[in-house]
Amino acid sequence: MLISIFCFGNPSRGDDAAGEHIYQWLSHIISSDSLTNKDVSIRLVVDYQLEPEHIFDLDGADLGIFIDCHLATKEAFLWQSVDVGQKLMITSHSVTAESLLFLYENTLNKPSPPSYLLGIAGSQFGLGDPISPTTKSNLDAAKEFLLEKLSSNHALKELVYDRLRVKRPASV
């Protein structure tokens, strides 16, 4: 199973560095061969923000995971499915995961892979600020959760196949 994992955020803006922290951690796990699930290949992408050309990093993947700092959660992190957007919405700052999936389907003329957002709770985004102690703790919880998902074939199959059933209901 090929999983494209997108870690994004600005490492110079405090808690927005959460994506970079996860990227560094995953890079170490992959390079040290610490991932116990040998049926998984990971395509790891890091950037300040999602860009339209990231559709090609998602192409061929069985599963997409988007990792970023997130303001709209009171928990340490949130995990939610990402639906294909209804239209392309690009700003001068970034593309949303939903818009990226929309662009993928409309450019490559095929269904996007099931995708999820791992949003790590953060609150400090000042230029030059360090990552906050609270977000460091949230990162630890998110890493544990993600490693559990990546290490279990059963969990990964549930993510892919349950999501495919939601996206593509059986014909009547």
Tens digit of pLDDT for each residue in 128-156?
889 999 999 999 999 999 988 888 777 77
Confidence of residue 89 (pLDDT cuts 50, 70, 90): low
pLDDT at position 4 over 60: yes
The total domain count for the chain is 1
Two structure tokens written together for 64: 């997409």
9 falls within a domain: yes
**Would you say residue 134 lies in a domain?**
yes
Q: What CATH number did the domain enclosing 92 receive?
A: 3.40.50.1450
Res 168: pLDDT: 44
If pLDDT is split at 50, 70 and 90, which confidence band does 95 have? confident
Task: Identify whether 172 is part of a domain.
Answer: no
Helix (H, G, I), strand (E, B) or coil at 38: coil
Better-scored residue on pLDDT, 46 or 123: 46
**Strand partners for 121:** 70
CB 58 within 8 A of CB 103: no
CA distances from 17 to 8, 116, 134, 137, 150 (A): 8, 19, 13, 13, 22
Expressed as residue numbers, the domain containing 35 is 2-167
